[in-house]
Amino acid sequence: MSNRSPEPAAITLDRALDTELVREIVLQELARHVDDYLFAQRWFGDKDRPIMEIVLGDVAVESVAGGWFVLATAIVGFEDFSEASDYLVLAAVVPETGTWTDDSLVRITTPVAAWQVVDIAAAPGFPAWWLSRFAAEAELASVWGRYRWRRLPGFEAAAREAGPGTFVLGGMGQSNTTVRYGEAMFGKIFRRLREGINPDEEISRFLAERTTFRQLPMPYGTATYQAGGGGIYPVGVLFKFIPSVGEGWGWTQDFLATVPLASYAAAARRLGERTAQLHLALSSVETEPDFAPEPVTEADISYWEHTTAAGVRAICEDLRVRRRDLSPRMQSLVMAMLDNKAELLDRVAGFRALTGTVKTRVHGDFHLGQLLRTPDDDWVLLDFEGEPARTIEQRRAKTSPMKDVADMLHSFTYARGMAARSADADHARLAMWEREARAAFLAGYRGEVATSPLALIPVGDAEIERAVVAWALAKSLYQVRYELGNRPDWLDVSLTPLVPRMEQPSR
């Protein structure tokens, strides 16, 4: 894209600010800089797509002590005329206190005061205001639509224990803004807006209200945006805060840095058991149409085969075109993957091993970063949104539980790849760790899932292996696409499972 302005807008007014004037300034001035703002955000997921334009859409402004909070939508249009993406822009109008901040988006001078429009992260009062909207079950009108906040059971008791609220730096693959309220609650604010039912809220409420599965944060509140045309977009969820000793990715990386390497098998086995218990719970209510298990059909298998094979071809072509922009090591991995294209396409046949099994709702984006390690050596599962790049319909669709299994096994491979970057990494030791972790996870999963009368997984080691290989390929392709657009320095880690000499067995 062009039309990038390196400096924030600076405007001078002949009267004091008020809510209506703030709205006009946002619609006129912030609109000119919204592309710069989005490209600076990690949660902006369309950096690698051919963007035609980014425009500011609807705007809501709330007057608060010491300024104003702004909730706006940004609409991203693409050169290929595919469906536009909507994002939530959160900003604050705060006083200038002697010096302009480096992240000012707009600077405003009035006869009585100077103000600046900044990202919401620079407004410490926002988390408390956001929580107060749930407490009041508030509504906020925008130019063309309306925001609504609603409480769920448990909110009142948790709110009495809540702290003032602080922003939490996003972890691996984070695509939302997270706010923590002491030891009581945490909230997620969705920055990519998608019309329809949010899977995270839907699955969390289903598990809390219809099953006995409790290895997840209980939902305490929901926030939505209703557009002028009537469409409803989830914008946030509040959850119970879960004490932990770390999220799964960081905890595992710390574990891999220890010398000597203690056994990870017990943790991996427990994770396999908890994963199976999740799948058992998600498939336990046959009277709920959106959750009732269904047989895997020939059409399902053909769809998985077709989309994954198409993904192989598309990624290979993208890497072929872009490889000269990469480091020599990355280029060598890309060439090895391109040489391995035929073998990758052969892996797609593994979906055939799912004939005779059932499809259910699943986590959908299962990796170590979606876990909390608890003080009692257990796991809590987080973030049931599904993969951020997918549509709401795709993320809510039933699929094979083997997708979650393969995704976590792939995450073990990723963890090993990151640990192997250390200059003093013991590669043989890390390879042994990965083998043990994968074997223990599968053993725990299979032992627990065997209690189900449903065919959640294939029968037999060979069939399970084939299904894992196929789903792991699909995940690797998704991850390569993500790294190309967001973290090109991680591309080597995502490519190694696709290069023959780096392959590791799933069991």
Q: Which tens digits make up the pLDDT trace of 453-474?
A: 999 999 999 999 999 999 999 9
pLDDT at 502: 46
Average pLDDT over residues 177-188: 92
pLDDT above 90 covers a percentage of the chain that reads 75
Q: Please check the confidence at residue 2 and state whether its pLDDT lies above 50.
A: no
Dihedral of the alpha carbons of 326, 330, 332, 338, in degrees to the nearest 10: -90
232-240 and 219-226 as β-strands: parallel, antiparallel, unpaired? antiparallel
Residues recorded for the chain: 507
5 band by pLDDT with thresholds 50, 70 and 90: very low
> Are 507 and 346 spatial neighbours (Cβ–Cβ below 8 Å)?
no
Q: Please check the confidence at residue 172 and state whether its pLDDT lies above 50.
A: no
> Are 129 and 69 spatial neighbours (Cβ–Cβ below 8 Å)?
yes
> Are 59 and 23 spatial neighbours (Cβ–Cβ below 8 Å)?
yes
| Three-state secondary-structure class, residue 3 | coil
Q: Please check the confidence at residue 183 and state whether its pLDDT lies above 60.
A: yes
Q: Which tens digits make up the pLDDT trace of 430-445?
A: 999 999 999 999 999 9
9-12 and 106-109 as β-strands: parallel, antiparallel, unpaired? parallel
Q: What is d(CA 91, CA 470) in angstroms, rounded to the nearest whole number?
A: 43
How is the chain split into domains, by residue range? Answer: 9-121, 128-240, 246-502
**Burial of 210 from C-beta contacts in 10 A (0-12 / 13-18 / 19+):** middle
Q: What is d(CA 225, CA 238) in angstroms, rounded to the nearest whole number?
A: 15
Q: What amino acid occupies position 163?
A: G
Task: Return the minimum-mean-pLDDT range out of 166-175, 199-208, 376-385.
Answer: 166-175
Q: What is d(CA 313, CA 110) in angstroms, rounded to the nearest whole number?
A: 57
Task: Return the minimum-mean-pLDDT range out of 43-57, 97-111, 299-313.
Answer: 97-111
Q: What amino acid occupies position 169?
A: L
Q: Which tens digits make up the pLDDT trace of 306-336?
A: 999 999 999 999 999 999 989 998 999 999 9
Structure tokens at 443: 């053993």
Q: What is d(CA 241, CA 131) in angstroms, rounded to the nearest whole number?
A: 14
Q: Please check the confidence at residue 1 and state whether its pLDDT lies above 70.
A: no
Q: Which tens digits make up the pLDDT trace of 330-350?
A: 999 999 999 999 999 999 999
Which CATH number describes the domain made up of 246-502?
3.90.1200.10
Q: What is d(CA 323, CA 331) in angstroms, rounded to the nearest whole number?
A: 6
Structure tokens at 284: 């336990």
pLDDT at 380: 98
Structure tokens at 194: 């998608």
Q: What amino acid occupies position 199?
A: P
Q: What is d(CA 248, CA 13) in angstroms, rounded to the nearest whole number?
A: 51
User: Which stretch, 40-49, 163-172, 441-450, 476-485, has highest mean pLDDT?
Assistant: 441-450
Q: What is d(CA 428, CA 446) in angstroms, rounded to the nearest whole number?
A: 27
> Are 359 and 399 spatial neighbours (Cβ–Cβ below 8 Å)?
yes
Q: Which tens digits make up the pLDDT trace of 252-272?
A: 999 999 877 788 999 999 999
Looking at every residue in the chain, the average pLDDT score rounds to 91
